[in-house]
Structures are given as structure tokens and as C-alpha cells.
Structure 1
């Protein structure tokens, strides 16, 4: 997993040495931030009310026990919302910034030399596919968010183990989304992409978990998105070169 963390570090280092590329990659993330920012602020202020609405069974309990249950519910609710927003933020940013990140990813690969595959897929078709992928990820994120919210009620485990599991799971899907740019150029779609990533599971989880952590830092998802795309390109390039699964050849 440490190797996976290094990919994120290498990606951040790549854009740090090229400030113009970093600014170039910031544009879609800032646009998405404006969309998601007010939603998260609203959600944060409404967490207490939503927790009370979700726990009507505690209305008649003693004040101390009722408040404890609703505090746990509020924490679990906000954690579930953060999990969902983390995945959706990435998916929407990549969808909005498709031409930006495609160009950034190409520049990363060209800087390494060697053969660089380029997609001949029409732009409109890549947008349609991006919307479909974002919708699929949204359904998965919402489903897992509900599961993690429910598990958050388990004493101790819900406040310790569950957040760690949620971080790892969200990191895995983040890695899948971010590597999609470079893998799409190689003709690999969502199922094939995850099949390749499973062959380098340790690196995928390390990269994804590290990315999830920095994305949870205030404004981290915006500031580190260009570096994450660069790092994911490096990971995808190496994973595809290492992959020996049937039916796939590096372009």
C-alpha cells in the first residue's frame, strides 16, 4: 500500500514542478466546489434536525440517553454525507473537467516518454459515458452511505472501525474514477478498469486511501485534484503495463 501512496506523492510533485499545469487543473474543481459547497454547509447545519427526524423512537427516552443517541446519529449522518459527497465530487469534477483532465493526463504521459495512446472516441460520446459512470457511482455511493450510516450506530465500532472502512472503500472507488482518464484512452471501460486495478490491489488501495485523506482536508479536493489526476495517470500507466489478464493489450 505504501507504493500506492507514493503515486499520489509523485503526482503532486509533478504538478508542483509545473505551476501552470496545477492552475490549469484547478478550474473544473473550483466550479464543482461552488456546486457542492453550499450543499455541505446546508447539510452540516441540518444534521441535528435530520438526526432527530431519523430517531423518533428516542423521543420518550431520558434526556441524556436521547441526546447521546442523536449525537451518534448526527455524526453518522454527517460521515455518511461526507462519504457520498467525496465520491460524487470527484465524479462530477471529472465529468465537468473532462477536456482539462484529459489534456493534463496526456501531458503527464508525454513527459515520461514512450508510446502514449490517444483516444479516438468522439468528445460527445465521452461526455455521455461520463454522465452514465457518474450516475452509477452515485447509486453505489448512496447505497454504501446508507450502510455506513446504519453501522455508525454500533457503539465504539461505529465511531472507530466503520470510518476507517468507509475511508478505504471510498479510496478504492476514487482510484477507479481517477484512473479512468488514462485507462479510457487505452480502451478500458469501467468493468475492465476495475479488473486491471484488482491486479495491483495494494497500490490501488494505498493511492485511493491517501487521496481520500487529502480530499477530506478543507479545500483539499480542489487543491490536490490536479496532483491526484497526475498520480492516477502514473498508476494507470504502470498497472496497464503490468497487467497480463486475457483480452487486454497495452495500446
Structure 2
């Protein structure tokens, strides 16, 4: 689908940073708090379980190594906990996109209402529950798009020379693109814009899309901070939708590229 997109000179980085301001708005805080609370509770429970297993591992290890090497615990414990924190943070970022998908769409809706002053009239809680199959189907579309491409890029890491040079750069660019798709999709989906049309629109604004996705990716690499990246990215992506896509998709023009 081809549409006439407004040329607003604002980078994706600016939109992402705008998300930090939007999550603090009084009318939006509740919609930010609910998925964030779910995320924190699940993460805290998983960390409690994992640290217990880690304690068992170190107890076993201390029984196997000579006593004069037990001082290594002083260095290994913090390193193990930090590694576990980073790995679990990445895992939870992915899992929470599924668990919080209905809340994310609702947050995008409220942000758009805040920015435009217009009600989307998407219905209440009952309508949201009825719409769950379609919402989860949309998440499945994103996953189907992501997995084969991710596997292809991961294979590149095993290719001599390329794996040590180009592959890390390509992986970062791919991740940035996927972050743009993941979070920009919520406002698009609220307006029932098909998934392929959404991708086409983002490709038409590649510079903004990639800089937005790169910002999300970089902040997602910071443990603890990445907990708030999801609502920040949704708010920023919705601001980008309002500025760059909303008016054009009121009257889309179908082309042969769709």
C-alpha cells in the first residue's frame, strides 16, 4: 500500500526520547504501570528462583574445589548474578511483548488520544477481551516475520571472517528494524492497518524507523533500565504514528507494491 506521508523533520531518536516525557503524563501513568508491574513481579519471581539455583551450584562447586580457591566466590558470585540479570532481562523483554500485548495496544490508544485530543472509540474492556485472538494473531505475525530472518543472521556468525566483522553490524541493524516493527505496530494495529502495509510505511521512512529502533535496542541492553523501555517505546512510536502516518492512513492509496 502506498500513501502520501507527511515529511516532518524529526528523528527516531527524538521520538524515542519523547516517550520518556509521555509516560509521566497523569492520564497515561496507569496504563504504563500495569504492564510494568506485571513485568517486575514475574522478573522478581524468576530471579528469586534462579538465585536459589545459583546458590545450589556454588555450594556444589565449593565442595569440589580445594579450600584455598574458595576466595574465587568473591569474584564469581557478582559476575554470575550480573550475567543472569542481563540474560533474563533480554528474555523477559521478549516474553513481555506477548503477555502485555493487549495493554500495549491500550497504552498506544491512550497516547494517541492524549496527543490528538480525539477518542479512537475502540470500545471498552469487553471489546478488548473479544479482540484478544486478533491481537495475539498480530503478535504471531511479527514472530513469524522475525524467526527465519533471525536464524539466517545468526548463521552468519559462524561464517569465517563475516562472522567476526559484518555479522555483528548486520545483527544490530536487523534488531533495530525489528524494534521499530514491534512498537510501531501497536498504533498501526489500533487502526486495523494490515501488517504488510505497516512494514511498507516504515520502509518509506527508513531513516526515522532505524534511528528509533536503534535507540530502543541500545536502551534495551541496559539492565533494569530496559524494564521501562517497552512503555517508553510504545509512547514514542505512537507519537511517530501521529506525526508521520496517521493523516495519510485515513485515506490510503493502494498501489501495485502492496
Question: TM-score scaled to structure 1, two decimals?
Answer: 0.66
Measured in 1, the distance between the counterparts of 2:232 and 2:219 equals 11
**1:150-177 residue CA offsets vs partner (Å, 9 max, x unmatched):** 2112355424432232222122222222
Say if 2:187 and 2:241, in contact at 8 Å, map to a contact too: yes
**Structure 1 residues 23-102: aligned runs within 5 Å:** 24-32=31-39, 38=46, 85=91, 88-89=94-95, 91-95=97-101, 98=102, 100-102=103-105
Change over 3 Å in CA distance of 1:202–1:87 after alignment to 2: farther
Query: In 1, Cα distance between the equivalents of 2:169 and 2:36?
Result: 25
How far has the Cα of 1:109 moved from its partner? 2.3
Q: 5+ residue gaps in structure 2?
A: 1-8, 54-86
- Kindly indicate whether residue 249 of structure 2 is the aligned counterpart of residue 246 of structure 1: no
Aligned to 1:5: 13
Q: Match of 1:166?
A: 171
Figure out how many residues of one structure are paired with residues of the other and give that number.
208
State which drifts further: 22-31 or 219-228.
22-31
Query: Helix, strand or coil for the counterpart of 2:158?
Result: coil
Give the aligned partner of residue 55 of structure 1: none
State the shift of 1:114 in Å.
5.0
DSSP-derived class of the 1:179 partner: helix
Return the match for 1:108 from 108, 111, 117. Answer: 111
From the CA coordinates, give the structure whose radius of gyration is larger: 2
Report which of the two has the higher share of helix. Answer: 1
Greater CA drift, 113-122 or 130-139: 113-122
Q: Unpaired segments of 5 or more residues in structure 1? A: 46-80
1:150 and 1:114 mapped to 2: Cα distance?
47
* Higher RCO (C-alpha 8 Å, min separation 6): 2
State the 1:216 CA deviation: 1.8
